[in-house]
Amino acid sequence: MPDLRDLYQEVILEHSKAPRNFHALAQANQKAEGFNPLCGDHFTVYMTTAGDSIQDIAFQGSGCAISKASASMMTQAVKGKSKAEAKELFDTFHKLVTTGESNGDREDLGKLAVFSGVSEFPVRVKCATLAWHTLQAALEGKQEKVSTE
């Protein structure tokens, strides 16, 4: 039986209450909006990129604890990374939250490993990945809003 504490880890609760990089980015040259129509979660991800590098990243919006903490920790994890590295990290993260496994890449995930409990709560996977899908859309320069549906 899944344990609530696996899902609502201290780090996650802490980030949901005090999200990092939680603001607009005036100089952003890439941004995207993502929403989950089922629960109304809605985030905008802003990025300043130079060449292949994500120099700065921030987000705004509202959502549940899982989606907000995930967005917050994502911004910390991808800041300073290359676009390709960010995409790779999303793949690893996605595998983690859907299967609980990470192919021995857990070290790459760093703090993001706290989201492994999400895999026990399948309906919450969309919460954990909303910001990441939005990031991906921003990287690909998509204009339309990203929906989890």
When the beta carbons of 6 and 85 are compared against another protein, the nearer one is 6
Contact 128, 97 (CB under 8 A): yes
* 45 Cβ neighbours under 8 A, 6+ residues apart: 31, 32, 34, 57, 58, 59, 71, 75, 131, 134, 135, 138
Q: 62 or 99: whose CB is closer to another protein?
A: 62
| x/- map, 62-101, another protein, by CB under 8 A | xxxxx-x---------------------------------
Binding to another protein by residue 17, rule CB under 8 A? yes
| Shortest distance (Å) from residue 85 CB to another protein | 30
Residues 6+ away with beta carbon under 8 Å from 120: 2, 3, 6, 7, 100
Which residues are 47's β-sheet partners? Answer: 30, 57
* Amino acid sitting at position 26: A
Segment interacting with another protein, rule: CB under 8 A, options 39-47, 74-82, 92-100, 135-143? 39-47
Interface contacts to another protein, rule CB under 8 A = 1-2, 4, 7-8, 13, 17, 38-42, 62-66, 68, 121, 123-124, 127
